[in-house]
C-alpha cells in the first residue's frame, strides 16, 4: 500500500472578499506541479460564498462538475434551461442546491452557467469537484439528486458513478464517489478492485482512515490498496473517490 496524507494547511488558498476558497489541486492562481490532480480527479475547491454574491455567467467544456453543498444554498442557472423561471414546467431542474444534494453537470461540448448565494445573511459553503471525462465532445447534461442523512449514517453511500448504480448521479468517467457520516463507534470498509486509486477527502470533523488520523480539510491519496477502513469518527463527513489508475 502506498499512501500520502495531504494536510488541510497544504492546500492553496484564495480570498476574493466575496469568495474564500481552498484548492486541493492547482487551480487559477494557485499552481503546484506536484498537485495537478489524482487519476481523473482534477479539482476539489472548498468554497465559501458571501451573502448576495456568486459566480457570474461563465463557461465550461469537457469536464464532469459536481457540487456538494455543506451549508446554505447554491442557486444554479445554465444555458440548458436549468434554474430558469418555470424550469420545472419545462422538464428542467429548479437549480437550487441544498445540503444533502449532489449536482452533476456534464459540460461536454460547452455550457454556460452561474452560481449564486441569494441569502441576505447566510454564507454558502460547498465543494466544487471536477472530474475529467472519459470522452470529449459529449452533449451537455445536468442531474441533481438528494441523499438524506440516514442513507450516509455509519456507511459509505454511492452518490456518483459512471453507471448511475444504486440511484447515484451518472458521471461520464471511470470513477465512483461515496459520501459518509461517522461518529463514535460507527465504522465502514470499502473494497477496491486491483489497480484502482482511492482519494479520501474529509469534509468536517475527524476520522481514522487505514490507520491515518484526518481532520477537516485533510485528504489521503492511496495506491495499491485493496481496502479502505474508516473508524473513530467525531462528527465526520467524508467523501471517498474510487478512481481508475
Kindly report, residue by residue over 79-112, the tens digit of the pLDDT.
999 998 888 778 888 889 999 999 999 999 999 9
Write out the residue range of the structural domain in which residue 169 sits: 2-243
Contact 96, 36 (CB under 8 A): no
Q: State whether residue 54 is helix, strand or coil.
A: strand
Contact 242, 190 (CB under 8 A): yes
234 pLDDT higher than 80: yes
1 pLDDT higher than 80: no
Distance of CA 18 to the CA centre of its chain: 21
Cα 50-131-152 angle, rounded to 5 deg: 70
- Residue tagged 487519476 (cell numbers): 39
Count structural domains, the chain.
Answer: 1
**pTM for this prediction:** 0.96
pLDDT digits (tens, 9 = 90+) for 168-216: 999 999 999 999 999 999 999 999 999 999 999 999 999 999 999 999 9
CATH number of domain containing 28: 2.60.120.10
Cell output for 15: 480570498
Mean pLDDT value across residues 30-54: 98
Distance CA 68, CA 98 (A): 8
Distance CA 37, CA 58 (A): 22
Q: CA–CA distance from 143 to each of 1, 81, 97, 130, 245 (Å)? A: 35, 12, 11, 15, 26
- Residue tagged 438524506 (cell numbers): 148
Give residue 91's pLDDT. 83
Amino acid at each position: 500500500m502506498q499512501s500520502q496524507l495531504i494536510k488541510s494547511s497544504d492546500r492553496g488558498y484564495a480570498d476574493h472578499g466575496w469568495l474564500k476558497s481552498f484548492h486541493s489541486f492547482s487551480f487559477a492562481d494557485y499552481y503546484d506541479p506536484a498537485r495537478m490532480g489524482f487519476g481523473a480527479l482534477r479539482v476539489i475547491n472548498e468554497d465559501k460564498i458571501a451573502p448576495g454574491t456568486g459566480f457570474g455567467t461563465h463557461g465550461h467544456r469537457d469536464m464532469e462538475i459536481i457540487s456538494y453543498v455543506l451549508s446554505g444554498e447554491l442557486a444554479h442557472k445554465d444555458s440548458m434551461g436549468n434554474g430558469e423561471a418555470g424550469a420545472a414546467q419545462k422538464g428542467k431542474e429548479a437549480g437550487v442546491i441544498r445540503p444533502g444534494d449532489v449536482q452533476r453537470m456534464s459540460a461536454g461540448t460547452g455550457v454556460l452557467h452561474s452560481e449564486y448565494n441569494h441569502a441576505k445573511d447566510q454564507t454558502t459553503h460547498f465543494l466544487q469537484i471536477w472530474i475529467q471525462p472519459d470522452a470529449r465532445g459529449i452533449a451537455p447534461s445536468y442531474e441533481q439528486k438528494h441523499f438524506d442523512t440516514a442513507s450516509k449514517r455509519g456507511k459509505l453511500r454511492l452518490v456518483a458513478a459512471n453507471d448511475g448504480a444504486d440511484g447515484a448521479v451518472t458521471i461520464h468517467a471511470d470513477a465512483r464517489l461515496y459520501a459518509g457520516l461517522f461518529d463514535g463507534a460507527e465504522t465502514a470498509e470499502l473494497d477496491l478492485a486491483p489497480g484502482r486509486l482511492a482519494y479520501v477527502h474529509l469534509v468536517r470533523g475527524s476520522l481514522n482512515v487505514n490507520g491515518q488520523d484526518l481532520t477537516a480539510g485533510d485528504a489521503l491519496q492511496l495506491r495499491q490498496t485493496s481496502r479502505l477502513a474508516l473508524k473513530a469518527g467525531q462528527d465526520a463527513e467524508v467523501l471517498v473517490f474510487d478512481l481508475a489508475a
